[in-house]
Structure 1
Amino acid sequence: MNGADSAGNPRGRRSRSVIRAVRTFLGGRLQPAAVVIEDGRIADVVGPLDPVLDARAVQVPDDAVLLPGLVDSHVHVNEPGRTEWEGFRSATLAAAAGGITTLVDMPLNSIPPTTTVANLAVKRRAAAPSAYIDVGFWGGAVPENLGRLAPLHEAGVFGFKCFLAPSGVDEFGHLDRRQLDAAMEEVAALGSRLIVHAEDPALLTGDGELGRKYAAFLASRPPASEESAIDAVIAAARRTGGRAHILHLSNAGALPAIRAAKAAGLALTVETCPHYLTIAAEDIPDGAGEFKCCPPIREAANADLLWEAVVDGTIDAIVSDHSPSTLDLKRSGDGDFGLMWGGIAGLQVGLSAVWTEARRRGIPLEQILPLFTTGPARVAGLADAGEIAVGAPAHLTVFGDDDPLPVRADDLLHRNPVSAYDGKLLTGRVRRTWLRGVSMFDADEGGPGDAPRLRGRVRGELLVAPVPRSAHRS
């Protein structure tokens, strides 16, 4: 029989391997185990010394941890239309280098946005020849498509993103409070989820020039804006019974309302991002566009409260909100925070950044790992991602939790060499990543792994792309 199976092996020839580690993240804790892989899926999980016949063996060094492939449910790939900002090839290579094996692409800033079935097809066609990991898509809820979300839902989007304040791009409009309620009703009827950029435009100030001082930008997007918008989302979820998700929480002042909503049984989840947990407003230099994002990075005391919410389980996921742009856009307006593009490029280093700070705070690795794996998988409704379990795809990564990681923006695989982590020395480095048992990234080899072809999936469609000879930015 000609062709290849779902793992890329010649049909009729079974592929069997075993990865052994003294520390494997299983069942919420680190323990010795051996993961048996057959034809791209996890066939068994056994003791670290148990014999496995006819299997190619890989031994994870004792100073590293075997993890499930990470999941990032909040990534702006920007292709097509603004591919010079990022693209499926560069984004998914950077993701694999950061241990991520599944990402869900946001419905903007690409042109067209993912707000119709036809536009979703355009995005899938763009991803198909270029994605090196599994890719899914969020749909967009905008004023123009309210009442007509069902076709996108049936076409396979994971849910619908909306903004309650201007998005920053003309082709993706924001919803007012009446439209928010309508979107929640529609999404609830579909059994889907609404994911919300929660800022109240009535409480935002300073449209246009703000100057080079970060404090002026921070004051223009006050905590009250997030609190007001989150209150509106909670009220809409309570009225409709729909599932709602708060994107990129930056303001810890909204946590009491979120905790109360969860305690009341509302179907509410919330994420935050590495930059809100690891960078403080007090440390951001004048005119440093790499730190601008919306909602903004706030003060160190605020980060302390976000960390409390990470530890107590209020926060469900830590995701990148990778939203890069070109150098020119990041440096526009001579460093004026009101004029430069907002967005953090952190796809490749998120786990390392958060682990560095968690370790400093005395928080064990196994406590943060669910927020990078099963947490974002559940936010997106991914049933078989983010865990090492029999029957799941063999998406795995090796993390050297004591390894130093000096970050240089020029060395990252993101398309544009801009990073809020440039020049930082982090602790923890992804050494290797497998997708369906195939090596996608090997740091010791300087980039992509040793497989003859790389594979990712877009909602079940097998992607096949040649391995680049180097991992340089494309």
Structure 2
Amino acid sequence: MPRGGRAPGGEASYDLVVAGARVLVAGAFTPAEVGVRDGVVMAIEPLGTGLEGARMTRLADDEVLLPGLVDTHVHVNEPGRTEWEGFRSATRAAAAGGVTTIVDMPLNSIPPTTSVAALDVKRRAAAAAGLAVDVGFWGGIVPGNLGDLRPLVAEGVFGFKCFLVDSGVEEFPPVTATELEAAMGMLAELDRPVIVHAEDPAVIGHAPRPRGRLYADFLASRPSAAEEAAITTVIEAARRTGTRAHILHLSSATALPLIAAAKRDGVRLTAETCPHYLALTAEDVPAGATAYKCCPPIRETDNRDALWGGLEDGTIDLVVTDHSPAPADLKHAGGGDFDEAWGGIASLQLGLPVVWTEARRRGIPLERVVGWMASAPARMAGVAGKGELAVGGAADLAVVAPEAEFTVEAARLEHRHPITPYDGRTLRGVVRATYLGGEPVAPEVTRGRMLRHP
């Protein structure tokens, strides 16, 4: 492969060359030229080498080149609840936020992805809708579907999600600790992660019922003890079975010592948190502002700071959005009553700037943020060739101006519904271009693929 110039016959060596002073390679920014052919990064050379491509892009002075982000926690909701979101709107929002790969949750679609037949329905819906970025799928664990797990693995799901507490939708019921361990035992030999919504139903059952418009009352209904108890259940089941287990959307920093101790003991455990837990605080949620409602909940300022500490010391492995939108009549149900409103935060398009804005304030470099939001999610889910800029990897790229500011206007987001707690916030980090397989993503283009675990 020539480092520069032209290939035999006179054609350009690469389909695309991107050159700039700040290209994120192996966790550090470096002046580089990136050569792409057939959707794959074929060369990364020092800036000035002179790679030639059919298309040449040079970064502006305020821009950096990042690997496309990987978001492994997205509720697309299609089919069945496409009015909440959908593959077309979700993948367009992802691309606008520099995300080039998402992995779709098995709920809140109807049917949920708990069998091969249901997975086929979902894939047909995705194909009909059209995808702006690549999409993989999680399977689901529910009572009675143990026999469906192995066939779903054969069909390429990346792992399996379950709830230990009511999911909020009747077609995806929670599992008991015994059912969780039985599924883990089967999946240990298949080497697929079990990803768990870890809140304990008994603890929540004894907590006060949330009523009314005060966020403090809602917060009291989902105490930290519920996360601690459920995470203990997951850890012990993973310890006994040897299964890879992953804690979804960690909100309670009091569980960090449990996770850290389990990792030291050799339990195959990872954990994620989300932009809303890192940027928002319970003290700042206005009365009746149900756009902030999610489960587990946004907690206090000291808790937020401790979660950042857990990221920095490696106890928390990754950051993903848990994008979970709903129509206004559900999100604002009850006129601001936190008990009645649907829980879930829409942030797929905003994940990177939300996290980067807060990380920058804390002196954390962009390189670490991208590691948490690109390479770490790809590793957890086993999404091959994604999440880092490397020779032989996918040419999924994001051009970002990290110091540029913008004010969030919910109505201008690609999300299906203009509802987000970040509306009106000033954030840093403007995504100026996104490439999928070396091709620029445009609103009218549907080039995304459906991924299967290799």
Question: Residues 62-461 of structure 1 correspond to what in structure 2 (within 5 A)?
Answer: 62-129=61-128, 130-205=130-205, 210-441=211-442, 448=443, 453-459=445-451
Q: Output one character per residue of 1:264-291: Cα deviation in whole Å (capped at 9) or x when no partner.
A: 1111010000000000000001111110
Q: After TM superposition, give the deviation of residue 308 of structure 1 in Å.
A: 0.4
Secondary structure at the aligned position of 2:85 is classed as: coil
Secondary structure at the aligned position of 1:150 is classed as: helix
Tell me which amino acid in the other structure corresponds to 2:232. Answer: D
Give the conservation status (yes or no) of the 8 Å contact 2:13–2:52.
Answer: no
Instruction: Give the whole-Å Cα distance in 2 for the aligned partners of 1:209 and 1:376.
Output: 33
Q: After TM superposition, give the deviation of residue 54 of structure 1 in Å.
A: 4.7
Instruction: Give the whole-Å Cα distance in 2 for the aligned partners of 1:323 and 1:54.
Output: 40
Tell me which amino acid in the other structure corresponds to 2:47. Answer: P
Instruction: Give the whole-Å Cα distance in 2 for the aligned partners of 1:456 and 1:26.
Output: 24
Instruction: Give the whole-Å Cα distance in 2 for the aligned partners of 1:316 and 1:383.
Output: 18
Q: Which runs of 5+ in 2 are unaligned?
A: 1-10
Tell me which amino acid in the other structure corresponds to 1:74. Answer: H
Pair 1:55–1:260, CA change in 2 (3 A): same
Q: After TM superposition, give the deviation of residue 421 of structure 1 in Å.
A: 0.4
Instruction: Give the whole-Å Cα distance in 1 for the aligned partners of 2:433 and 2:375.
Output: 20
* Corresponding residue for residue 469 of structure 1: none
Secondary structure at the aligned position of 1:373 is classed as: helix
Q: Output one character per residue of 1:142-201: Cα deviation in whole Å (capped at 9) or x when no partner.
A: 002024310011111000000000000000010111111111111113221100000000
Instruction: Give the whole-Å Cα distance in 2 for the aligned partners of 1:305 and 1:54.
Output: 47
Instruction: Give the whole-Å Cα distance in 2 for the aligned partners of 1:15 and 1:355.
Output: 32
The TM-score, its normalising length taken from structure 2, stands at 0.95
Give the conservation status (yes or no) of the 8 Å contact 2:163–2:174.
Answer: yes
Pair 1:13–1:367, CA change in 2 (3 A): closer
Q: After TM superposition, give the deviation of residue 39 of structure 1 in Å.
A: 1.5
Q: After TM superposition, give the deviation of residue 460 of structure 1 in Å.
A: 6.0
Give the conservation status (yes or no) of the 8 Å contact 1:209–1:339.
Answer: no
Instruction: Give the whole-Å Cα distance in 2 for the aligned partners of 1:249 and 1:263.
Output: 19
Secondary structure at the aligned position of 1:455 is classed as: coil
* Corresponding residue for residue 6 of structure 2: none
Give the conservation status (yes or no) of the 8 Å contact 1:147–1:186.
Answer: no
Instruction: Give the whole-Å Cα distance in 1 for the aligned partners of 2:267 and 2:210.
Output: 40
Instruction: Give the whole-Å Cα distance in 2 for the aligned partners of 1:13 and 1:183.
Output: 52
Q: After TM superposition, give the deviation of residue 208 of structure 1 in Å.
A: 6.5
State how many pairs are aligned. Answer: 441
Tell me which amino acid in the other structure corresponds to 1:313. Answer: G
Q: Output one character per residue of 1:295-346: Cα deviation in whole Å (capped at 9) or x when no partner.
A: 0000010000000011111111100000000011011112110110000000
Give the conservation status (yes or no) of the 8 Å contact 2:210–2:218.
Answer: no
Q: After TM superposition, give the deviation of residue 454 of structure 1 in Å.
A: 3.4
Pair 1:209–1:246, CA change in 2 (3 A): closer
Q: Which runs of 5+ in 1 are unaligned?
A: 1-11, 442-447, 462-474
Secondary structure at the aligned position of 1:148 is classed as: helix
Tell me which amino acid in the other structure corresponds to 2:203. Answer: L
